[in-house]
Structure 1
């Protein structure tokens, strides 16, 4: 039960992070509605859990050599794939996706850390 709650918190955190990102990063838009943000967060989570994990493992030597910069490109690719799979997400270019991926990662990590702290 605890794992399900963590997953739901993570999805909500990513949805909120995507919303904040659309307000800050030009070139990233989501059709209005909470449902759209939750669907995008779910798609992004599933892509990151499957393809993202595989790509991060395959690019691990490059990530070591580039001090982690290649992982930013992997996260950007995951966001662009989410754009292709979701009708409600629109990303106009690589740099929008790049900065959006950074912002989504930071915001969702912060929210997850705050909401899952054990007392």
Structure 2
């Protein structure tokens, strides 16, 4: 039961972080005819983003370990941007009205999502 609540909380945090990115970054948009539709879209994209990060990111980190070492981890910013962009593509294929227009909006959006998500995790404490 506690695991379920944590998953829901993490999904909500990612959704809020994505919402912040849509407000702060030109090129990241969520559309919908109602507020409920936009919230549902953000929650759906949060699930997609979480799954993409859980499945693909460890593989990329393992295969690209040398690049992480050579760039002192800065390649992680590029990886996070590409994962956000991929999440946008998957969302569009699932007909969710969430769109990232290119690499640079994805890059800055990934930074916003990371910082907002980290801050909310600190504030809400995992206990």
Shorter-chain-normalised TM-score: which range? over 0.9
Is structure 2 residue 117 aligned with structure 1 residue 108? yes
Number of equivalenced pairs: 118
Superposed CA RMSD? 1.2
Question: Hey, what does 1:14 align to over in structure 2?
Answer: 14
Query: 1:2: how far off?
Result: 2.0
Query: Taking structure 1 as the reference length, what is the TM-score of the superposition?
Result: 0.92
How do residues 1-119 of structure 1 correspond to structure 2 at under 5 angstroms?
1-32=1-32, 33-87=38-92, 88-118=97-127
Stretches of 4+ aligned residues off by more than 3 angstroms: none
Question: Hey, what does 2:35 align to over in structure 1?
Answer: none
Gaps of 5+ in 2: 33-37
Query: Taking structure 2 as the reference length, what is the TM-score of the superposition?
Result: 0.87
Gaps of 5+ in 1: none
